[in-house]
A and B are shown apart, each in its own frame.
Chain A
């Protein structure tokens, strides 16, 4: 018994002794920990589709180009320069002299292999298939990479494909089944992944041979949380040093901590309503059960006029957004952002909205609800939102209130995400639905969701449409910007597309949510955002923030850490001793009982 107790005591002492010892290493490397509320789906860049995965791949691999940290325009990355043929169909990139992290040189062969793999192997299309859809051929000659296109494509320089090392990846049998979990990974970007524990963390070490120079920190850790509230606690406590993509309540929970910087900037998202204004399939046959009144642009205009966007920003987004007086490209992208002014600008005005409907012949019935001019149907719309998104529920309440003032009934329809995608993107079984996109520095893709070709076929195939839009004017503008290689002129065309979306209103932009992040100033000395002038940290494209990060001190653990160790040790020792005491007491009584 005594021996056993001694063992326990030793255990308690060890707990006290060991924990602080591990916390206070003098020359620990500079480590920055980033929290994410989404875990990696795959370390294989050909397969990974989640945002967190593409961020980590951005830090690991080189791309042809990277958005400039000041202007967000494409700037050299692995491609140090490029030329375009006059017809815009042939692009030639000069690949810079750089090294893979295993010492091999980076050549145009690597890039050619990467793109060709995606063009020829369907498994490799999973993540970025559309990026090479317009490629006719890709060839390499030393450091020169030539891409021939099927049709002109101005967004060519915003290519989202990481360049992979051919000499490593060509040995992979089936790309679609390859998990890419051999560490350290062979990469050419600022960081090398050295360890990955599924759903737990990814550890990245600075690449000493990175062509721009070694990052200033030694190690970057990405730590995954299932639960945003726990991540916020983790930041306050110092378990992590930075976290992005916060919801307004989580962001506000960071208030009042001196060492935490609340990073509140313009975001890359827009939140908008998509309206079923007479959905058709790609062969122009009507589909779905959208309300006929929504085909009338005047009704859509009236709805737009009845939305108090400022109020939505204040009450639904806790003030952490900007009301949308433009279309779906957020103001963060200054070059491409278009804003309505003058008579074109739609402002909140219930009387005016009512008048629009009165003039258009939608009369109010005895119950105060408007009906179609021919009296065939009441103006009762469904509003499709996602289940379990309190913010959309709240939004629905406000819209229902305003539309009621117009004599329009709005009922909320909650759908899980796959059903939602199906009804709003394929079967068109909706009237009005919530939507939102994260927009890339080149907005072409988000605008393309309004093309005729994005409508599904009669059998429900294909697609990727927003509100089944198909408009000749918009199509013509889209084709025009694709051919326009002059950035300024192209931006003008893109703005016209946004203007068309604003006035025709197949979608109604509500607001542009801010990008909400937080980091510890006692751990991060400096960080460059994208764009540099008050831009984004974690959520932005490119690797700038994580390449430029500077840590505060050499000590990986704060003083609190060693206290923690002591406290845990003491608690453990107390528990162990108490248990031992209890055990002894009970044993004694047990013996006494036996004697009776």
Chain B
């Protein structure tokens, strides 16, 4: 990384700072516009969905017309669509995501309760997937056609195409239940044991619960980094500066790590930021398989009921964070790659 940074510094001209500020402002403006559009779209999309939420809430129980009316009034569904829209936008701008139909509690509270465990799981998985993918991709791309390359590409293609729930279940069956000589050492569910000890023991307990869901997520996600990294390293291999570095008599390994890899990392940066956006949404499937009490699970529940305010709230949160992270990715890319700036 250091090499790129110094190279960037050398090329950088003074006015570029202003350029960056203007660029960032323009991007932020774009992001705000997208968020506004998402808010509008969310409102209408969830009203277009089939089904009467009040009736869904009743879950087949007999409710009198009076009770149904009361529920409607409570949920604000008795108002006209424009009225509901104004109310919704006003609420959302005040960071009030409404009250969940089913849990009868503010959606923001529900999200707050779960966001931590989602960030823990997806964050850890992301760090692992990126490090592993980038490292393996760089090595594979450096010597295309080598045994390592063929092995890596094959593995990543397989993992990339495996359905997440299938892989998750498989890991659950093998490493939680135990098969043959493999003992089932990992927990089957959740983030902690019911009788989890305090202090360091608790950290270990959570770590133990994280192994399988994390492994599932890493396995499915890391292939993407591997393949992107591999192809961008492959692009660098034939470049003049690589040849020059080699001609200087640097060791091959060093040319790769200090010259080619930093340059090849750029596309991965975008990918990482985009993923961070999705990290908030969690992995619905992984959380459902391992009963991980995160946002993904909450969203899954919301769809099952269906709990419209909860769906709306989680959906908004996920889309907004993806937009923000995309914007950030653009800006960071702008800083890292001078070519984007001059273009």
Contacts and interface: CB of A to CB of B under 8 A. Distances in A.
B194 A223 contact: yes
Contacts of A567: 183, 185
B103 A42 contact: yes
Interface string A470-513: 00000000000000000000000000000000000000000000
Contacts of A14: 200
B113 A198 contact: yes
A239 B55 CA distance: 37
Interface stretch (A307-315, A454-462, A517-525): A454-462
B155 interface: no
B317 to A, nearest CB: 18
Contact of A33 (B173, B178, B184, B194): B194
Contact of A226 (B176, B194, B251, B291): B291
Interface stretch (A57-65, A360-368, A372-380, A419-427): A419-427
Contacts of B183: 563-564, 567
A299 interface: no
Interface string A289-307: 0000000000000000000
Interface in B176-194: 176-178, 183-185, 187-192, 194
Interface string B242-256: 000000001101100
Q: How large is the interface on B (under 10, 10 to 19, 20 to 34, 35 or more residues)?
A: 35 or more
Interface stretch (B32-40, B46-54, B214-222, B321-329): B46-54
B176 A237 contact: yes
Contacts of B300: 226
A74 interface: no
Interface in A154-198: 176-177, 179, 197-198
A226 B51 contact: no
Contacts of B287: 226
A200 interface: yes
Given A42-B103, A200-B293, A15 B68 contact: no
Interface in B146-188: 169, 172-173, 176-178, 183-185, 187-188
Interface stretch (B10-18, B57-65, B265-273, B335-343): B57-65
Contacts of B29: none
B67 A419 contact: no
B79 interface: no
A230 B189 contact: yes
Nearest to B173: A233
A224 B290 CA distance: 11
Contact of A133 (B64, B68, B104, B291): B64
Contacts of B251: 593, 596
A49 B61 contact: yes
A561 to B, nearest CB: 11
A261 to B, nearest CB: 18
Contact of A122 (B67, B184, B191, B306): B67
A87 B37 CA distance: 64
Given A176-B104, A233-B173, A236-B177, A462 B63 contact: yes
Given A18-B200, A177-B104, A422-B51, A129 B289 contact: no
A462 B68 contact: yes
A129 B188 contact: no
Nearest to B178: A237
B169 A229 contact: yes
Contact of B297 (A226, A236, A426, A449): A226
A556 to B, nearest CB: 8
A125 interface: yes
Given A129-B67, A462-B68, A568 B290 contact: no
B65 A461 contact: yes
A42 B61 contact: no
Given A18-B201, A422-B51, A593-B253, A199 B291 contact: yes
Interface in A185-231: 197-201, 203, 221, 223-227, 229-231
A556 B103 CA distance: 33
Nearest to B249: A596
Contacts of A237: 176-178, 184, 188
Contacts of B61: 49, 130, 464
B176 A15 contact: no
A33 B190 CA distance: 15
Given A457-B65, A567-B185, A593-B254, A200 B51 contact: no
Interface in A439-468: 445, 448-449, 454, 457, 461-464
Contact of B55 (A33, A234, A422, A572): A422
A69 B102 CA distance: 33
Q: How large is the interface on A (under 10, 10 to 19, 20 to 34, 35 or more residues)?
A: 35 or more
Contact of B289 (A122, A227, A445): A227
A393 interface: no
A416 to B, nearest CB: 7
A596 B60 contact: no
Contacts of A564: 183, 185
B76 interface: no
A148 to B, nearest CB: 20
B72 to A, nearest CB: 10
Given A230-B188, A563-B183, A596-B251, A418 B55 contact: yes
Contact of B208 (A122, A221, A230, A568): A568
Given A199-B291, A568-B185, A464 B60 contact: yes
Contact of A421 (B60, B62, B208, B253): B60
Most buried by A among B70, B189, B190: B189
A416 B289 contact: no
A201 B200 contact: no
Contacts of B291: 199-200, 224-227, 230
Most buried by A among B51, B62, B68, B197: B62
A253 to B, nearest CB: 10
A343 to B, nearest CB: 35
Contacts of B70: 122
Contacts of B105: 177, 179
Nearest to A201: B194
A19 B204 contact: yes
Contacts of B189: 223-227, 230-231, 234, 239
Nearest to B193: A239
17 contacts: A19-B204, A49-B61, A122-B70, A177-B104, A199-B297, A227-B289, A230-B176, A231-B189, A417-B306, A418-B306, A421-B52, A454-B62, A464-B58, A563-B183, A568-B185, A571-B185, A596-B254
Given A47-B104, A572-B204, 18 more contacts: A130-B61, A133-B64, A197-B293, A198-B293, A200-B190, A200-B293, A224-B189, A229-B169, A230-B290, A233-B177, A418-B52, A419-B50, A421-B51, A421-B60, A461-B65, A461-B69, A464-B63, A567-B183
Interface of A: 14-15, 18-19, 22, 33, 41-42, 47, 49, 122, 125, 129-130, 133, 176-177, 179, 197-201, 203, 221, 223-227, 229-231, 233-234, 236-237, 239, 415-419, 421-422, 425-426, 445, 448-449, 454, 457, 461-464, 556, 563-564, 567-568, 571-572, 593, 596
4 nearest interchain CB pairs?
A418-B51, A464-B62, A418-B56, A461-B65
